Amino acid sequence: MNIDRIVLAFAGTVITISLILGSMVHPYWLFMAAFVGLNMLQAAFTRFCPLAIVLKKIGAEPGCAFK
């Protein structure tokens, strides 16, 4: 699995968990989903993603989005 797919899978997992916690525990958990969504939006324009940087340093295979 390359960096692009790992980033998308991680973001999807965090957003899903945030939405579940927001509906079952406290609505403030929805801020985490908003943060991840905004981070994905800025990464689309700037190509800067902290998770991609970490994955690259630990040796994950690069994809076409985060080279």
Local confidence band at 17 (pLDDT 50, 70, 90 cut-offs): very high
The pLDDT-based confidence of 66 (bands split at 50, 70, 90) is confident
Mean pLDDT of 40-52: 93
- What are the C-alpha distances in Å from 20 to residues 9, 15, 49, 53, 56? 17, 9, 24, 28, 30
> What is the distance between the alpha carbons of residues 8 and 27, in angstroms, rounded to a whole number?
24
What value does the mean pLDDT take over residues 11-24?
Answer: 98
CA geometry: angle 34, 4, 14, nearest 5 deg: 30
Residue ranges per domain, the chain? 3-57
In the chain, pLDDT over 70 holds for what percent of residues? 100
Q: What angle do CA 37, 56, 14 make, to 5 degrees?
A: 30
The Cα–Cα gap between 51 and 3 comes to 9
Q: Is the pLDDT of residue 63 over 90?
A: no
